[in-house]
Chains A and B, each alone.
Chain A
């Protein structure tokens, strides 16, 4: 899950296994959520998004689940590959409470894929 501090939580996953990365959010009015992947030395890369009127959304090898009751978001990566090693973080927005484009970001989870 997400944390504040110098050290990010780490998820170690064996290649080929499924990964589950969690994110807790605090604003019950948040209605748009994004998962980003950030490789070392690069900018955040969009993975998948979901609006609050959905519970689940699937992409290529990734699934995002949203539980509004407990304000929890998760990202599932199927058949994790070495190229999936990165920091993953969630972002939330509550338009129009938040201005268009203004997101709150989690600190992230470091995913390490082992052979």
Chain B
């Protein structure tokens, strides 16, 4: 298994440009999410999905869009890049459980190796 794969590894954009960060997982995980990591701060949740066709906003969703057409893929779109979006972006996934079991168990997030984005 490759786990969680993110592309590209590095990207430089000019202000106003758009792009899509790709994320794919081969673990059949239902849950997928996008985080950004800024110096000296903890990971912050951008968007997440609990299954194909279902997405929701996290802590810092402005300026980003997501979609989940398949279980495997969860792309993150920057609509009009801004310097404040310069960051390292991580995609993560985890398996889910039937509702009856979720109160008694949890599962860790598995992360990709990130995309380092610079917006000038």
Is this pair of chains taken from one and the same complex?
yes
Q: Indicate if B40 sits at the interface (CB-CB under 8 A).
A: yes
Q: Indicate if A45 sits at the interface (CB-CB under 8 A).
A: yes
Q: Which residues of B contact A45 (CB under 8 A)?
A: 111
A60 to chain B, nearest CB (A): 16
B42 x A93 contact (CB < 8 A): no
The CA-CA distance from A45 to B103 in the complex, in Å, is 24
A101 x B109 contact (CB < 8 A): yes
Q: Indicate if B94 sits at the interface (CB-CB under 8 A).
A: yes
B42 x A101 contact (CB < 8 A): no
Q: Which residues of A contact B45 (CB under 8 A)?
A: 102-103
A104 x B42 contact (CB < 8 A): yes
The CA-CA distance from A3 to B44 in the complex, in Å, is 15
The CA-CA distance from A40 to B115 in the complex, in Å, is 13
Q: Which residues of B contact A100 (CB under 8 A)?
A: 31, 50, 96, 102, 106
Query: On chain B, which size bracket covers the interface?
Result: 20 to 34
B48 x A102 contact (CB < 8 A): yes
59-77 of chain B: CB within 8 A of chain A = none
**A5-B40 in contact given A46-B108, A99-B48, A100-B50 (Cβ < 8 Å):** yes
Contact of B43 among A5, A42, A105 (CB under 8 A): A105
Q: Which residues of A contact B4 (CB under 8 A)?
A: 43
B58 to chain A, nearest CB (A): 7
Q: Which residues of B contact A2 (CB under 8 A)?
A: 42
Nearest CB in chain A to that of B111: its residue: A43
Q: Indicate if B33 sits at the interface (CB-CB under 8 A).
A: yes
The CA-CA distance from A15 to B43 in the complex, in Å, is 29
The CA-CA distance from A103 to B48 in the complex, in Å, is 11
The CA-CA distance from A100 to B51 in the complex, in Å, is 12
The CA-CA distance from A32 to B106 in the complex, in Å, is 7
Q: Indicate if B113 sits at the interface (CB-CB under 8 A).
A: yes
A105 x B42 contact (CB < 8 A): yes
The CA-CA distance from A103 to B45 in the complex, in Å, is 8
Residues of B in contact with A (beta carbons under 8 Å apart) = 4, 6, 31, 33, 35, 39-45, 48, 50, 56, 58, 90, 94, 96, 102-103, 106-114
